[in-house]
């Protein structure tokens, strides 16, 4: 093609047809410019297609990962609520008599056992870590989803602080008192259990503190609600059916 245009240009020049040659030269320049623009447009289209395909793959990974995170959170919250409810049942018995009836002891055996629980929410962060390590958050076109992903780690840390405080209280204060006074599985048929320990203000204080820490996780701090809202929104916006 280039050789063809060159031959025409030489023929026009040799015949001294200046006007025709000028028109031809301009036309050739226009064709070259158009060709360049088309090539750039094709290149831009290919880059957009590649970027779009990459975003689709990333969103799929995010969606699947956060669906698993949601299941893990639901499981953790189930355990927290069970501990919370059993603490409440024990508190409702206060003050406990010096010699509780057998049915009360039987209930306490179960309830005290379920006041334990060190479950924590440790979500998978693979997809977000990959975006952060490559500074690729901009590939997410949806502004809301991008902002949620960027702020996700901070929300998790804020929520985990509540769990950490509860766990520290459990093992640093609550468990030492229990292990000093009661059988490992709260078998109150064993006379070595210190039943007087059920009547102390220290026992009541520790139980109410245990309850309060769980209440902060589940209700009062607000960190869980923020986490759940963000988790739900990320799953929704990363769904293949969502218009991103």
Largest CA distance in the chain: 125
Sign of the alpha-carbon dihedral angle for 104, 193, 164, 75 = negative
Q: Is the pTM of this model over 0.85?
A: no
Report the alpha-carbon distance of residue 108 to residue 217 in Å, rounded. 24
Phi, psi of 31 (to 5 degrees): -65, -40
Q: Which two tokens stand for residue 233?
A: 């929104």
Report the alpha-carbon distance of residue 210 to residue 89 in Å, rounded. 12
Treating both helix axes as pointing N-terminal to C-terminal, what angle do 126-133 and 143-169 enclose, rounded to 10 degrees?
120
Answer yes or no: are the C-beta atoms of 123 and 160 closer than 8 Å: no
pLDDT attached to residue 9: 56
CA angle (242, 70, 240) in 5-degree steps: 15
pLDDT attached to residue 104: 87
Sign of the alpha-carbon dihedral angle for 190, 195, 198, 203 = negative
Q: Is the peptide bond before 48 cis (omega within 30 degrees of 0)?
A: no
Q: Which residue has the tokens 């049915």?
A: 103
Report the alpha-carbon distance of residue 97 to residue 199 in Å, rounded. 7
Tens of pLDDT along the chain (244 residues) come to 555 555 655 565 565 555 555 665 677 777 677 777 776 676 666 556 656 678 889 999 999 999 999 999 999 999 999 999 999 999 999 999 877 888 888 999 999 999 998 789 999 999 999 888 888 888 999 999 999 999 999 999 999 999 999 999 999 999 999 999 999 999 888 889 998 999 999 999 999 999 999 999 999 999 999 999 999 999 999 998 755 5
Runs of H (alpha helix) within the chain: 2-14, 18-91, 102-113, 126-133, 143-169, 175-181, 201-215, 223-237
Q: Which of 225, 219, 215, 182 is nearest to 83 (CA)?
A: 215
Q: Who contacts 99 (Cβ-Cβ below 8 Å, separation ≥6)? A: 195
Report the alpha-carbon distance of residue 5 to residue 62 in Å, rounded. 54
Q: Which two tokens stand for residue 229?
A: 């809202």
Tell me if residue 160 falls in helix, strand or coil: helix
Rg (CA), the chain: 35
pLDDT attached to residue 228: 97
């Amino acid at each position: 093609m280039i050789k063809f245009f060159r031959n025409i240009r030489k023929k026009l020049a040799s015949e001294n047809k200046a006007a025709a040659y000028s028109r031809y030269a301009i036309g050739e320049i226009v064709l070259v410019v158009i060709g360049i623009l088309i090539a750039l447009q094709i290149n831009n289209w290919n880059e957009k297609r590649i970027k779009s395909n990459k975003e689709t793959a990333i969103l799929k990974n995010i969606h699947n990962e956060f669906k698993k995170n949601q299941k893990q959170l639901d499981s953790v919250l189930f355990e927290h609520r069970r501990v919370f409810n059993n603490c409440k049942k024990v508190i409702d018995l206060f003050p406990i008599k010096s010699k509780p009836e057998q049915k009360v002891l039987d209930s306490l055996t179960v309830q005290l056992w379920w006041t334990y629980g060190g479950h924590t929410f440790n979500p998978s962060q693979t997809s977000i870590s990959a975006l952060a390590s490559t500074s690729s958050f901009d590939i997410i076109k949806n502004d809301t989803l991008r902002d949620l992903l960027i702020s996700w780690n901070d929300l998790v840390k804020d929520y985990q602080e509540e769990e950490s405080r509860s766990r520290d209280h459990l093992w640093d204060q609550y468990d030492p008192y229990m292990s000093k006074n009661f059988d490992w599985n709260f078998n109150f048929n064993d006379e070595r259990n210190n039943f007087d320990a059920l009547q102390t203000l220290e026992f009541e204080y520790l139980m109410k503190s245990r309850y309060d820490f769980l209440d902060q996780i589940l209700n009062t701090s607000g960190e869980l609600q923020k986490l759940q809202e963000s988790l739900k929104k990320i799953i929704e916006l990363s769904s293949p059916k969502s218009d991103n």
